[in-house]
Amino acid sequence: MKKYVLYVHRFFILLTDFANAYTIYYVVKKQRGHNERTKHGRCGALAFVWDVGYLTAIPVIIFAFGGRYLDMRYDASPWFLLCGLCISVLLSAYLVYKRMQRFL
């Protein structure tokens, strides 16, 4: 169990780092333009990064624990966990993409 929690934690850190780097890149790139990114200044950027963090963390947590529960229930370790993580990656990517559309 500790091994899977460690993998989920590392995956979450990678997703968060990618989202933060992506956000900072676009904030710096289009800083002079008048759009939603710069409308609220630093507080708006922090709120956006916080929001993207939740958009990546919540699906990972829900689907990882759901997959782990199904693995324990049906004795199919680690297939449901891996499927849950794959679904959560796709869902997180879609949610972040939809959130980023208003900034592009």
- Domains of the chain, residue spans: 2-28+36-101
What is the Cα–Cα distance from 26 to 38, expressed in whole angstroms? 11
What sign does the dihedral 73-9-92-87 (CA atoms) show?
A: negative
Over its C-alpha atoms, the chain yields an Rg (Å, rounded) of: 16
pTM for the full model? 0.57
Mean pLDDT by groups of 10 residues along the chain of 104 residues: 63 63 60 52 71 87 91 90 92 88 71
